[in-house]
Amino acid sequence: GNADALSRLPLPVKHQDTAQKEIFYFEHVENTPITATQIKKATRVDPVLSQVMDLVMHGKSRRTSPVSPDFVTYMSRRTELSIQSGCLLWGRRVIIPPPLRSQMLEQLHSGHCGIVRMKEIARSYFWWPGLDSAIEEKARAC
């Protein structure tokens, strides 16, 4: 009888505000105006990243210029660096060249999801030395 009918009623669904924010946010991140082609071009012309590309492709850098602190940061991660379609990767994350970083921060910040969430999202997709500090600075300036 009645117990059987009640057991078949669907349970109430609790709406997850967090899930909606994530969906909204991922739509923004995936629709970023920065393309792989732009990243590839900016990486090739950047003095530090082009040196890192040499390191990844040839096992050493062919440059004899003084080593920058940023290059040292990449050197410490060299076993985890790779190249995909002309873009440098650290693990699965794309390394964003300096000229495109402010645009990536703008895109990341457009979701207004707070410092912690911005860092989580950034760490899933891209990286550069000092990324966490740049995110904190961007969020504070808001």
For each of the domains in the chain, give its residue range(s) and CATH number, in order of start. 35-140 (1.10.340.70)
Q: Specify the 3-state DSSP secondary structure of 80.
A: helix
By the 8 A CB rule, do 87 and 36 touch?
yes
* Cα separation, 51 vs 48, whole angstroms: 5
The reported pTM is 0.72
Question: Mean pLDDT per segment of 10 residues, for the chain of length 142 residues?
Answer: 54 49 47 83 95 89 72 91 95 96 88 82 93 91 78
By the 8 A CB rule, do 52 and 96 touch?
no
| Distances from the Cα of 130 to the Cα of 31, 50, 70, angstroms | 24, 19, 9
